[in-house]
């Protein structure tokens, strides 16, 4: 049986003969480990967010909004690594939940500032504490050298991907 290359839903799969597949899958690929790790972290954060009728995405946006002066809406999508349409839906949900409000940007009349309501500030603090709790748990489990190496490797992988050094 020949190997078959299949592109589906922006992911690339290589279907190989059963005998070859069994030897290939014994060792996970780096991207598989990163994806599994992120999926587990996202699930963990969503399980915490649902306690407050939120989502991980909402918590992440709350953390990126400056609690004192607000944040220009045009700056949020790049800060979050989100598409503008996804961010628009999230911001709409956040307005409905009374977490944020929009105000004209005094320094740029063409844009708006996203500002936190009192309830939004309260939920931002809960999001911040959740992230800090996760980070503290990792610091207890791993020594400074291990975490430093992890951050260095993750940073370099991110740089390689962003600079299109791989594809």
How confident is the chain (167 residues) per 10-residue block, as mean pLDDT?
49 51 71 96 97 95 97 91 87 97 90 96 97 98 97 96 95
Unique residue bearing structure tokens 């992230």: 131
Give domain limits for the chain: 29-162
Per-residue pLDDT at 86: 84
Per-residue pLDDT at 20: 54
Per-residue pLDDT at 24: 55
Per-residue pLDDT at 82: 83
- Tell me if the domain spanning 29-162 has CATH number 3.30.160.270: no
Is 113 in contact with 72 (CB distance < 8 Å)? yes
Per-residue pLDDT at 9: 47
> Could you give the CA distance from residue 57 to residue 131 in angstroms, rounded to a whole number?
13
DSSP 17: -
Is 116 in contact with 126 (CB distance < 8 Å)? no
Per-residue pLDDT at 1: 46
Catalogue the long-range contacts made by 89-97 (C-beta closer than 8 Å, 24 or more residues apart). Answer: 90/57, 90/58, 90/61, 91/61, 93/58, 94/58, 94/61, 94/62, 94/120, 97/53, 97/54, 97/58
Sign of CA dihedral 27, 11, 153, 63: negative
Is 115 in contact with 98 (CB distance < 8 Å)? no
């Amino acid at each position: 049986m020949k190997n078959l290359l299949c592109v589906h839903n922006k992911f690339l799969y290589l279907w190989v003969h059963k005998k070859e597949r069994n030897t290939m899958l014994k060792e996970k690929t780096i991207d598989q480990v990163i994806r599994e790790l992120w999926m587990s972290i996202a699930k963990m954060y969503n399980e915490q967010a649902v306690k407050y009728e939120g989502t991980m995405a909402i918590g992440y946006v709350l953390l990126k909004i400056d609690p004192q002066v607000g944040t220009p809406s045009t700056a949020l999508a790049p800060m979050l690594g989100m598409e503008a349409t996804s961010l628009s839906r999230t911001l709409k949900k956040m307005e409905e939940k009374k977490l944020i409000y929009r105000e004209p940007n005094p320094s740029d009349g063409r844009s708006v500032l996203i500002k936190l309501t009192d309830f939004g500030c309260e939920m931002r603090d809960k999001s911040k504490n959740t992230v800090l709790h996760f980070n503290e748990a990792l610091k207890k489990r791993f020594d400074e050298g291990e975490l430093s190496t992890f951050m260095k490797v993750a940073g370099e992988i991110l740089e390689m991907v962003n600079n299109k050094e791989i594809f």
